[in-house]
């Protein structure tokens, strides 16, 4: 039985005050929850103030990125242990926006995943195909390459703990979500790739989320699928009411 996760990627939105208000409102609507994990991913500057508010709550905190070095002359970067230090337990790695605008490759993603694990953070690794890849029937090839690249040289015991988010790029922020059975098929393909690296037992422990225009109206359909263990939510995580409704999805 894999513990479901609903994670809210707040992207480049919200001042400290707004982030605090949002997390208080989400908590007000969902209360303490034990049968699913809820993670919020604010910008770096809001991590500590939000962490302070989360001390007595069940919502967990994550960052949207990290750097793979521990310390040094790397102006502008944030190290894994610094994220741990401010209260993060999760970190998003390899979001398609980072791959597109900041040149993140599978090699960089792999280094970041290793650094996150070493610091005791759980990486949420994003993979997903472009519209062109999809039209050329390359979805499985692309997500397999990204998944294998991200998990390269990790032990099965480490791979078991990571979270993968399958986010077709054409579905992010467009309102055009993948249909649940197609997402299930791709996610089951991702699990097979992981199994080829670790064996079935470990692969069956890995939580794999769907992301891409998840809203209150479609979450239940995704969560009914066998291999979908939760959602990575962008736009709909910026409003407490819609995020809380997504968190309250119907169990399989
Ligand atoms: C995302 O950015 O990870 C995402 C899934 O965004 P949206 O829900 O807005 O499509």
Assign 3-class secondary structure to the chain. Answer: CCCCEEEEECCCCCCHHHHHHHHHHHHHHHCCCCCCEEEEECCHHHHHHHHHHHCCCCCEEEECCCCCCCCCCCCCCCCHHHHHHCCCCEEEECCHHHHHHCCCCHHHHHHHHHHHHHCCCEEEEEECCCHHHHHCCCHHHHHHHHHHHHCCCCCHHHHCCCEEEECCHHHCCCCCCCCHHHHHHHHHHHHHHHHHHHCHHHHCCCEEEEECCCCCCCHHHHHCCCCCCEEEECHHHCCHHHHHHHHCCCCC
Contact 235 CB / ligand 1 (< 6 Å): yes
Q: What integer pLDDT is reported at residue 7 of this predicted model?
A: 99
Average pLDDT, the chain: 98
Ligand 1 geometric centre to CA of 228 (Å): 16
Ligand 1 geometric centre to CA of 199 (Å): 31
Ligand 1 geometric centre to CA of 234 (Å): 3
Nearest C-alpha to atom 4 of ligand 1 is from which residue? 234
Catalytic residue among 37, 97, 167, 225: 167
95 is catalytic: yes
Contact 218 CB / ligand 1 (< 6 Å): no
Residue 251 pLDDT grade (very low, low, confident, very high; cuts 50, 70, 90) = confident
At residue 222, does pLDDT exceed 80? yes
pTM score, whole prediction: 0.97
Residue 1 pLDDT grade (very low, low, confident, very high; cuts 50, 70, 90) = confident
Nearest C-alpha to atom 3 of ligand 1 is from which residue? 234
Nearest C-alpha to atom 7 of ligand 1 is from which residue? 234
Ligand 1 geometric centre to CA of 13 (Å): 13
Q: What integer pLDDT is reported at residue 17 of this predicted model?
A: 98
Residue 231 pLDDT grade (very low, low, confident, very high; cuts 50, 70, 90) = very high
Query: What would the mean pLDDT of 62-81 be, rounded to a whole number?
Result: 98
Instruction: Please give the radius of gyration of the chain, using alpha carbons only, rounded to the nearest integer.
Output: 17
Nearest C-alpha to atom 1 of ligand 1 is from which residue? 234
């Amino acid at each position: 039985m894999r513990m479901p996760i609903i994670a809210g990627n707040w992207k480049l939105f919200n001042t400290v005050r707004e982030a605090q208000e949002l997390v208080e409102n989400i908590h007000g609507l969902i209360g303490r929850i034990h049968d699913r994990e809820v993670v919020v991913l604010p910008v770096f500057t809001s991590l500590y103030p939000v962490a302070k508010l989360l001390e007595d709550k069940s919502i967990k905190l994550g960052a949207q990125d990290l750097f793979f070095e521990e310390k040094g002359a790397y102006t502008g970067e944030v190290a894994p242990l610094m994220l741990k230090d401010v209260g993060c337990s999760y970190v998003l790695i390899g979001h398609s926006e980072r791959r597109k605008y900041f040149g993140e490759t599978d090699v960089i993603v792999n280094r970041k995943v290793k650094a996150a694990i070493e610091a005791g953070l759980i990486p949420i690794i994003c993979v997903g195909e472009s519209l062109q890849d999809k039209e050329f029937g390359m979805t499985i090839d692309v997500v397999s390459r990204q998944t294998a690249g991200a998990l390269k040289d990790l032990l099965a015991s480490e791979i078991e703990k990571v979270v993968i988010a399958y986010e077709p790029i054409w579905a992010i922020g467009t309102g055009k979500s993948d249909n649940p059975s197609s997402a299930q098929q791709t996610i089951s393909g991702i699990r097979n790739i992981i199994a080829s690296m670790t064996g079935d037992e470990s692969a069956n422990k890995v939580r794999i989320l769907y992301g891409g225009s998840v809203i209150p109206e479609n979450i239940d359909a995704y969560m009914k699928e066998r291999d979908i263990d939760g959602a990575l939510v962008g736009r709909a995580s910026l409003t407490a009411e819609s995020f809380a409704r997504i968190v309250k999805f119907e169990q399989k």
